[in-house]
């Protein structure tokens, strides 16, 4: 006799059409019917950050399209409530989704394939566990897989105060790499620079400062800059590409300026720079899984020892999702976190 279906009441955020997340995402309630198949688990999601990836998927502009209606959320931390047959996870395990963007995290509960999850060390703080995949994995892959870097080498990055930028700083510090960090011109520039120094940033410039003083600074470095990390585009990408040594590599992971990425003919032809791109969701699906598991092990070890921490975030209950989405999109606020387990809100 086949197993009967079970039910669980859940709240969820869902969009029925692509468009402005502030308009198309709605809070819904339903009694979810489920029956765990082989290798499936029922997850109680605890908290989930709002990433640019999520915004782009809702807008319909991301390379991977969702079948509608859809529940957003590709990054989160949750706990296994029920494990189906042949699952490699147990009830009570803390987990994060690995194979983005399919796990439907913006909900109280979801049924997920266990092999699309990674078990998370319970010693890691929930907010760090919930942000372990997108930004730290992007940073790890950019630092480890494009250029052979040695202790004492220099890298340069723009968007240094972004989630990826902060992860780059922390990993580089842990591995003995020097970072040239460029941040947007802002009234609170000094405060933001001090925050990055506390994470291990070696040198920090505003875009304006680097435009004026960058060449002189680079000329006095003892070692060449082999790697540039670009999350902005426009003139900023042109500046950091100009910092590279001959044969250096620029890796683009975003375009916050919403301007075309700029590189000069001289940089490409005479300096022979390499220009690459990374989308971490696709990379996690395409890379050798032994490499992925090694990366996740290293990141968790750094998180346990306090060498890798989540960026500062504003926590919002699911009922306040409209504020969280608006803050995520206006570019004036810190990273936003949706909290489904109310007891965690004070810990974010």
Query: The CATH number of the domain where 31 resides is what?
Result: 3.90.180.10
- Residues 50 and 120 grouped into a single domain: yes
Q: Are 27 and 1 in contact (CB under 8 A)?
A: no
Give the residue numbers marked as catalytic: 62
Residue 104: inside a domain? yes
Stretch 61-84: mean pLDDT, rounded? 92
Asked if residue 151 has pLDDT above 70, the reply is yes
Helix axes 134-145, 289-304, angle to 10 degrees: 120
Stretch 33-53: mean pLDDT, rounded? 94
Query: In the beta sheet, which residues pair with residue 285?
Result: none
- Please give the Cα distance from 274 to 284 (Å, whole number): 22
Asked if residue 37 has pLDDT above 90, the reply is yes
- Residues 33 and 72 grouped into a single domain: yes
Task: Decide which of 285 and 310 is more confident.
Answer: 310
Stretch 220-234: mean pLDDT, rounded? 95
| Residue 79 lies in domain | 6-131+311-347
Q: Whole-model pTM? A: 0.92
Least confident of 31-35, 219-223, 283-287: 283-287
- Please give the Cα distance from 103 to 3 (Å, whole number): 24
- Residues 277 and 165 grouped into a single domain: yes
Sign of CA dihedral 81, 114, 303, 301: positive
Task: Give the pLDDT score at 1.
Answer: 45
- Residues 119 and 219 grouped into a single domain: no
- Residues 107 and 49 grouped into a single domain: yes
Residue 215: inside a domain? yes
- Residues 150 and 100 grouped into a single domain: no
Q: Are 212 and 190 in contact (CB under 8 A)?
A: no
- Residues 168 and 256 grouped into a single domain: yes
Residue 296: inside a domain? no
- Residues 50 and 112 grouped into a single domain: yes
Q: Which of 232, 266, 281 is the last residue of a domain?
A: 281
Mean of pLDDT over the chain: 93
Residues in the chain: 348
Residue 190: inside a domain? yes
How many CB atoms sit inside 10 A of residue 135's CB? 24
Stretch 1-6: mean pLDDT, rounded? 68
Tally of structural domains, the chain: 2
- Please give the Cα distance from 188 to 252 (Å, whole number): 26
Residue 32: inside a domain? yes
Sign of CA dihedral 248, 193, 296, 14: negative
- Residues 188 and 319 grouped into a single domain: no
Stretch 106-134: mean pLDDT, rounded? 95
- Residues 116 and 174 grouped into a single domain: no
Stretch 314-330: mean pLDDT, rounded? 95
Q: Which of 281, 297, 329 is the last residue of a domain?
A: 281
- Residues 144 and 247 grouped into a single domain: yes
- Residues 110 and 57 grouped into a single domain: yes
């Amino acid at each position: 006799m086949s197993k009967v279906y079970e039910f669980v009441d859940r709240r969820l955020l869902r969009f029925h059409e692509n468009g402005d997340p502030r308009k198309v995402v709605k809070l819904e309630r339903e009694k979810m019917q489920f029956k765990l198949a082989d290798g499936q688990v029922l997850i109680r999601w605890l908290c989930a950050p709002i990433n640019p990836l999520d915004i782009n998927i809702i807008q319909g502009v991301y390379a991977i399209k969702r079948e509608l209606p859809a529940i957003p959320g590709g990054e989160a931390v949750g706990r296994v409530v029920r494990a189906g047959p042949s699952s490699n996870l147990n009830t009570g395990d803390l987990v994060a989704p690995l194979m983005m963007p399919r796990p439907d995290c913006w909900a109280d509960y979801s049924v997920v394939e266990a092999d699309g999850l990674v078990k998370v060390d319970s010693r890691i703080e929930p907010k760090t566990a919930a942000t372990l995949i997108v930004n730290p994995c992007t940073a790890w892959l950019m630092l480890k897989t494009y250029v052979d870097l040695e202790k004492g080498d220099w890298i340069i990055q723009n968007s240094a105060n972004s989630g990826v930028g902060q992860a780059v700083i922390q990993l580089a510090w842990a591995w003995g790499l020097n970072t040239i960090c460029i941040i947007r011109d802002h009234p609170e520039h000094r405060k933001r620079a001090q925050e990055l120094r506390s994470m291990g940033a070696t040198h920090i410039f505003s875009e304006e400062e680097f435009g004026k003083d960058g060449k002189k600074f680079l000329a006095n470095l003892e070692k060449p800059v082999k790697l540039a990390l670009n999350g902005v585009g426009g003139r900023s990408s042109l500046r950091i590409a100009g910092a590279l040594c001959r044969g250096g590599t620029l890796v683009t992971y975003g375009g916050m300026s919403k301007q075309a990425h700029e590189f000069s003919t001289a940089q490409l032809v005479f300096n022979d720079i390499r220009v690459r791109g990374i989308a971490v969701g696709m990379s996690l699906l395409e890379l050798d899984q032994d490499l992925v598991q090694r990366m996740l092990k290293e990141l968790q070890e750094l998180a346990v020892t306090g060498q890798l921490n989540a960026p500062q975030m504003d926590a919002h209950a699911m009922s306040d999702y409209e504020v969280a989405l608006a803050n995520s999109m206006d570019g004036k606020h810190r990273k936003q976190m949706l909290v489904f387990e109310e007891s965690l809100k004070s810990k974010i």
